Structure formats: C-alpha cells, structure tokens
Structure 1
C-alpha cells in the first residue's frame, strides 16, 4: 500500500470515528440496500453480552481519514465468521487495501474462535450480489470486480443452496445473493449440513438479534431454501 494505515476497532464503549465511517458507508451503497445506522449501533451493544459470539467493527485510518472498514460476526455455535461489509475509501485506496482489510478482519475472527475454545476458525462466509440480477452495466462490472477480489482471497461460491438474504426494509421476500465461503481447517469443502447450520446461525445472530427481523419472515426464507430450522 502507498500509505500507512492505522487499525482500530469501534466498540460500544469507544465510538470514535463511527460517524465518519457511517458517512463513507452511505456514500458506498445506494439507499435501497443500506441498513440503518441504528443496526450498527445495535451490533455494538449486542456484542457486550453475546460472548462467545461477537460483533467486530474494524476501521483503517490514514491520519484523520477513514481509509477502509469492515464488520463481521463470530458465530460460536458453528465456529464461523460472517463478514458483512468490506469497504474502502476511493480517495485513499492503495494497492491491496481491500485484501489487507479482509485479512485483518479474518485475524479478529480467528481470535474469537480461540477465545471460544477452538484451535482455529473453521470457516469465513459472506454474501455478494448475483451478477445476473443487477440492473446496469456499471453494477455488473462492480459484481465482476467483487467476484475476482474474493476469488483472489480464496473465497468460493457455495451453490447447493439458493441462498436468500432476509429482507432489510420491511418487505417479506428474501433477496437472492451468492454465498461465498473460505475454509481455514483441513478440507476445502463444506457439507450441506454445515452450510445449513451456518445460515441458521447467521439468521439468529445477525438478522434476528441485531436487525430484529420478525422470526416469521426469517422462517419463510429458511423454508424457501429448504433448510430444516426446528432449532431456530
């Protein structure tokens, strides 16, 4: 990278830089796919009482400017990190800043796995837009760039389930997205049972506990994916 980045974390007790990060967030995503700022604050608050689950809010600073940020949940029941956002500032992007931010987040999730009693993190997982569902050539180009970025960082598509992100803005229909995963232990494959359990953990810890999406809506999405969620 061309600039020195200082890494810090936003917590419920230390929200320095939060407003600057949220400004970059608003600039990076169209309003129809953005979560409310309150969701970030709820995540920080939830993290104070959710151990061994966690919520991580990583920020890379170049001086007083937000260079990048990432958020993610550690899902203790399935020993998996769920990375929600990786964002870089177009005004301070250096070579490899996105990959460095992703690596830093993975390191935090690995620490959470060890704190939860595991020898290592099992998987990291994330959602991305589907190229065939975008509306413009610019959006398609962005999708292709993201696919190449995550492939370069050893994330692979999981296609045995037609994944649905729960609706974020009061709708009742899920949003079709790609689900990418990275393995940190042994086998580079993920079983149908593992992915089903991980999705349920994502739904519980992120979309119910933090976003507070109604359980009936979450159950509807799980049913559409063919996931048995008797334990949800």
Structure 2
C-alpha cells in the first residue's frame, strides 16, 4: 500500500549524503560558540511560523519502516486540512526500485511511475497512516524536535551549501521525532545545522540510528531551503 507515511513520513527529517549538499567546518570561527539550548529555542520558535519549504532527503542503510531512498520536493501548510506536497521520489516497493513523482493533496496520494499517468489512492487507504502537516506542524514537526533534543552541544561553525551555520549535536527519543521519522524505536543521535544569522532557522538535520552488528549506522538526512517561498499543490490533471 502506498501511503502518506511511505512518502512524507520519511521526507520530513528523515531529509545520508544529500546530493548537492556540502558542509565545511570553519576552525577559525569555531571558538566562543553560543549555547545550544538558546539557539534551539530560538529556532523552534521561528520555525513554527514557516508555512512552506523545499526539501532534499536521503537515507543510507536499512531502516525498518522506511522504503524511500531519496526524495526532493516542496511542502506547504496551505490548502486543505493537511496542506500538501509534491516532488520526486526513489523507493523500494515489493522488492523493486521505483523512480516516480508524487503529489499529496486533499487527503489523497497521486503517484506516477517512469511511464504512464498519475494514479490516485483515496483517503480511505491513506488517512490512518500519516498526516503530512506533521512535517511543518508547530506541535508535532520540526519545532517539536528542536525543543526535545537532549545533551545538546554547539560543536562548530560550518557552512552548509555556502550558508554559515551552527552545528549542534544531541540525542532525541521516539516521542520527539517519531511523527516525522518512521522506524525510530529508541534514542537516536541527532545533528542539526541552524542558520547563523537572523532567527537561526534550520538548514539541515541528520538522524543516526543505532549501529547494527557488522554494519555502518543507518542515517536519515534532510536539507531544507527556500523557506516560505510560494508553493501551490493541486491534484494532477
């Protein structure tokens, strides 16, 4: 079953090495860093007002509950009770790797594979799985994650795709990130990069799952940009 959870649940924070994203540490400026708690509080307050965003997301390793490998698109809290989203996605479904386009709007999922037209999945098949407004929802989404990071520490000043940012590391539990990262069953390591200027809005987030025996630790990585740019999501023709 293709559901909102398959797509948006893994898009949110889920957003690994993200194509086109570069992060450069600035040792000369990584002294006298501001307190992590204050930065996170400011960022959480600011992101509650964000109505739309562009995201790029990637998953490395095997994480139960996450079928998406990469995704890119736009999210909005406007339009309908749950807002909407549109973009491209690569996921494994029934053992097959699928590249496609998706549109989520009015409680319906529209999916288009490499060929053919969009297929609609009615809300009766999707409503019980994932509410896309969770991504930007002020009570369940990014803002909740930022206010529930424990053992937070400002590690460095870095540039993410050329944007100066504060790198903050910490821990987060299922209650903090479970709405936007399926598969979280215990505490996970989390790193966030907050814009150094202005309201310290989030730029990038990396969730690292516990390391399986004999394997690298799975990660889910998201880069967000173009916050509050105009985004319109409508059902495909």
TM-score of the aligned structures, taking structure 2 as reference length: 0.25
Higher strand share: 2
Which is bigger in relative contact order (C-alpha 8 A, separation at least 6)? 2
Higher helix share: 1
TM-score of the aligned structures, taking structure 1 as reference length: 0.25
